Amino acid sequence: MTTAVVTGLGVAAPNGLGHERFWSATLRGESGIGPVRRFDASRYPSRLAGEVPEFDPDEHLPKRLIPQTDRMTQLALAAADWALTDAGVQPGTYDTEQMGVSTAGASGGLEFGQRELDNLWGKGPQHVSVYMSFAWFYAVNSGQISIRHAMRGPAGVFVGDQAGGLDAVAQARRNIRKGLRLVMSGGADSSLCPYGWVSRMSGTQLSTRDDPNRAYLPFDVDAHGHVPGEGGAILVVEDADSARSRGARAYGEIAGYGASFDAAPRHGGQPGLRRAAEVALADAGLEPADIGVVFADGSGSTEQDGVEAATITSVFGAGAVPVTVPKTMTGRMNSGGAPVDLACALLALRDGVIPPTINVRTVDPAYEIDLVTGTPRRWKPKAALVLARGTGGFNSAMVLRAAG
Amino acid sequence: MRQITLHRLQSIMRECAGENEDAQPLADAANRTFEELGYDSLALLETQSRIHREFGVALPDEAVVTSSTPQAIVDHVNGLVNAR
């Protein structure tokens, strides 16, 4: 069957812009989490976020695009540019119809949306930007990437919170198998505004701590919810034969994918994360022993951490595989989180080093997982498993391995 | 009665739709089409709405098309302002 490989990385994360800066900061254990600055969060119960402070859209985008884009789109467009540069793809490398876009979006552009809704109610309909007609849509990042790079093949969006970031890349692989040569994929979110903040408060367990080093501690005995982050990653997913024939380097292959859905709590039933992981392994044709690292979802809430730890030990055995959560340096970036984990996994394959989970001091011994804490760990690169869960019951898993 | 100038039109468009592609002063591009300047129909729709708010005149939709030019818009707005 056609193989889909990743040939370009574009990362816009709270601890680094561009995949090399992000990766070196991640290996040094540098956190991008701090007090919220994009709006006044002082009177909310949660006041920390992973923001991308040094990102100035004027430096990265044509001025025409700025009034019509939410910050999440600005981040996605910049990441897409970097990914294409990294992949060495130029206009004309492929026909426009042979290229598509598949991104994830968890909330749409709520900062833009809130501003224009304020205009609507405060000043009247004449004061609402015409770009409200699309700028806050879930699908807008796919649309803007498609327009900017003249990619006229299939484009779409997946909405599944964190899990959507893997679902979108799985769709990219599906479309490569159907004959596309290249698909831009991944996701980026922001929505660091009151509207986005209260939406998160209602749906997930946000940490209410003010110490950036003690707020987001997945799998720790002191776990206390999570810190939100903005940003994400866009990957160039390419047909392996096409990439090889143009002499492109491949970071790795998208080897397997699985997804499942949890029933609402009132219906009971087993958590589906294990099924997603097992389906992804089977899809890749791999055994658990072939996996050398798990990038965990790392919810940071005690119940969800317990489910994930039980999933990992039931599939791999107690303490049998290194587990890591580099998101402890960025916060949970909604649709951007899992694509950044994919980038981490590919760079871990490249460099033979597993990035650390920071700030976690005492892994709950009941979890029986081998969490890579504090500093990076050398490994002999095998395949990597990335797990992602989304609010509402989404579970997704993806297996990456070195390109053959 | 306040009239619109090419300079003011440029400020409005810069604010609501972004700088034109070559960042050229509209005074030097008064007779180039909006399409040539890189503005699409939505950018013009937004411009039409801003002009309405600021100058109190409603340009008809058929006047606000990408084949039109900055000078044509300025003349049309000022014609409507003068006719009031």
Q: Tokens representing B10?
A: 């440029």
Chain B hits for A127, Cβ within 8 Å: 53
Give dist(CA A10, CA A16) in Å, integer. 11
Residue A376 and residue A289 share a domain:
yes
| pLDDT at A404 (0 to 100) | 76
Cα–Cα distance measured from residue A347 to residue A220, given in angstroms and rounded to the nearest whole number: 26
Which range (A238-242, A391-395, B8-12, B20-24) has the least confidence? B20-24
Residue A251 lies in a domain: no
Instruction: Give the number of other Cβ atoms within 10 Å of residue A315's Cβ.
Output: 19
Q: Is residue A24 part of a domain?
A: yes
Same domain, A238 and A269: no
Measured CA to CA, the distance from residue B80 to residue B2 in angstroms comes to 11
Tokens of A357: 């989970």
Chain A residues with CB-CB distance to B23 below 8 A: 63
**Has residue A238 got a pLDDT over 90?**
yes
Secondary structure letter of residue A141 according to DSSP: H
Orientation of helix A140-148 relative to helix A71-87, angle to 10°: 40
Answer yes or no: is A125 within a domain: yes
Q: Which residue of A has its CA nearest to B17?
A: A67
**How is residue A103 written in tokens?**
């991104």
What Rg value do the Cα atoms of chain A yield, rounded? 20
Helix axes A19-27, A337-351, angle to 10 degrees: 80
Residues A238 and A264 in one domain: no
A67 is a domain residue: yes
Binning pLDDT at 50, 70 and 90, where does residue A266 land? confident
Cα dihedral A160, A166, A168, A171 in deg (nearest 10): -120
Measured distance CA(A273)–CA(A298) in Å, rounded: 12
Q: What confidence category does residue B24 fall into, taking pLDDT thresholds of 50, 70 and 90?
A: confident
User: Which of A245, A272, A292 is the last residue before a domain boundary?
Assistant: A245
**Residue A252 lies inside a defined structural domain of this protein:** no
Task: Using CB atoms, pick whichever of B14, B16, B52 lies closest to residue A126.
Answer: B52
Are residues A280 and A322 part of one domain?
yes
Contact A237, A190 (CB under 8 A): no
Structure tokens at A326: 């580099």
Residue A284, classified by CB atoms within 10 Å of its CB into exposed (0-12), middle (13-18) or buried (19+), is buried
The shortest C-alpha distance from A126 to chain B (Å) reads 7
> Nearest residue of B to residue A68 by CA position?
B17
Regarding whether A145 and A28 lie in a shared domain, the answer is: yes
| A218 touches A300 (CB < 8 A) | yes
- Under an 8 A CB cutoff, do B19 and A64 touch? yes
Number of domains in chain A: 2
Max CA-CA distance within chain A?
A: 61
**Which of B39, B49, B52 has its CB closest to that of A130?**
B49
Q: Are residues A262 and A233 in the same domain?
A: no
Give the N- to C-terminal CA distance of chain B in Å, as an integer: 9
Whether A237 is covered by a domain: the verdict is yes
Residue range A174-198, pLDDT digits in tens: 999 999 999 999 999 999 999 999 9
Whether the predicted interface score ipTM is above 0.95: no
Indicate whether A250 belongs to any domain.
no
Q: Is the domain of A18 the same as that of A108?
A: yes
Q: Which residue has the tokens 């910049």?
A: A78
Give contacts of A77 with chain B, Cβ < 8 Å.
none
Q: Which residues of B33-50 are buried (b: 16+ CB within 10 A; e: fewer)?
A: ebeebbbeeebbbbbbbb
CA nearest to B45 within chain A: A130
Distance CA A83, CA A153 (A): 18
CATH of the domain at A328: 3.40.47.10
Residue A48 and residue A151 in one domain: yes
Tens-place pLDDT, residues A280-304: 999 999 999 999 999 999 999 999 9
Shared-domain flag, residues A89 and A224: yes
Flag whether A81 is in a domain.
Answer: yes
Which own/partner contact pairs does A43-46 have at CB distance under 8 Å and 24+ positions apart?
A44/A197, A44/A198, A44/A201, A45/A201, A45/A206, A45/A208, A46/A197, A46/A201, A46/A206, A46/A207, A46/A208, A46/A227
pLDDT digit string (tens) for A99-139?
Answer: 999 999 999 999 999 999 999 999 999 899 999 999 999 99
Structural element, H or E, at residue A15: none
pLDDT tens digits, A10-48: 999 999 999 999 999 999 999 999 999 999 999 999 999
Are residues A205 and A138 part of one domain?
A: yes
Give the pLDDT band of residue A1 (cuts 50, 70, 90): confident
Contacts of B60 (CB under 8 A, 6+ apart): none
Q: So what's the pLDDT on residue A19?
A: 98
**B56 reaches A (C-beta below 8 A):** no
pTM of the model: 0.95
A345 CB neighbour count, 10 Å cutoff: 29
The residue from A192, A221, A245 where one domain ends is: A245
Closest-CA distance, B13 to chain A, in angstroms, reads 10
DSSP sequence for A185-234: EEEEE---SHHHHHHHHHHS-B-----TTTS--TTBTT---B-BB-EEEE
Question: Which residue range is the domain that position A198 belongs to?
Answer: 4-245
Which amino acid, one-letter code, is at B60?
A: P
Distance (Å) from the alpha carbon of A56 to chain B's nearest alpha carbon: 15
Q: Report the C-alpha gap between A123 and B24 in whole angstroms.
A: 32
Contact A133 B43 (CB under 8 A): no
Asked if A61 contacts B10 with a C-beta cutoff of 8 angstroms, the reply is no
Could you tell me if A55 and A203 lie in one domain?
A: yes
Chosen for mutation from A63, A64, A65, A73 (greatest number of chain B CBs closer than 10 Å) is A64
- What is the average pLDDT score of chain A? 96
For A349-384, the pLDDT digits (tens) are 999 999 999 999 999 999 999 999 999 999 999 999
Residue with the two structure tokens 């500093």: A375
Q: What's the sign of the alpha-carbon dihedral A90, A92, A98, A100?
A: positive
Whether B18 sits inside 8 A of A62 (CB atoms) is yes
Among A205, A225, A245, identify where a domain stops.
A245
CB contact under 8 A, B42 and A66: no
- For residues A290 and A231, membership in a common domain is answered with no
